[in-house]
Amino acid sequence: MEIGKRIREHRAELGLSQDDLAARVYVSRQTISSWENDKTYPDVQSLLILSDVFGATVDSLIKGDVETMTETIDRDARLLMRLGYAMLSFLLLMVATLVWLAIQSSAWDWPLDQCLPTFVLALVLWGIAMAAAVWAERIKKEHDLITYREILAFSKGENVDRDTPRGRRERIIPRWMKIVRTVGWTLIAAAVGAFVGYHGAALVDVLLG
């Protein structure tokens, strides 16, 4: 692959740092580094912006690398979509398991040792969902995908427009704030699951009573 080398050479000719180029292409510095080291490849929208910044044609940037780039991007797009489906499926199964656990412990008054396998199953399902989420996050970070619209466009093989108001806002949010937000949403999801489980068990208890 030569595209990374070409990007690095054009950037050096213009006297731009990776941060400078990242700002012009609307991606992170880490993404520029990944492109230059041939870890990931720019999508069509990024290639168009790069060609404009460098004053070069798209063909001169990607000559000989088109097939490999297409295969890699398509593979990551398909994998990202599958991981999203897997994460959602296992989270729904986990919620159903928690409801079942609440029914066992509250409505049927099962002892702890009988409820333990259901609890362990819920943890396993949650662990699988989180593993899929981490894998998906790694792919999104490699391709600098932040907003849902960007992720959807990438998954469909369409142009990824990162120069949007929301995209710009998301990219200036500090990493620690994103972590706090993620933890907050996780806690909210857990609270909703507990609420549904508790009231579902109460409803079952009323129906059986």
pLDDT in tens, 123-181: 899 899 889 988 988 888 888 888 888 888 887 777 777 778 887 777 777 777 877 87
End-to-end CA distance of the chain: 69
* Same domain assignment for residues 131 and 157: yes
Nearest to 25 by CA among 178, 159, 161, 173: 161
* Same domain assignment for residues 141 and 203: yes
- DSSP sequence for 33-59: HHHHTTSS---HHHHHHHHHHHT--HH
pLDDT in tens, 37-54: 888 888 888 888 899 999
Nearest to 164 by CA among 147, 142, 141, 152: 147
Residues, the chain: 209
Dihedral sign computed on CA atoms, order 69, 74, 80, 82? negative
* Same domain assignment for residues 56 and 95: no
* Same domain assignment for residues 58 and 110: no
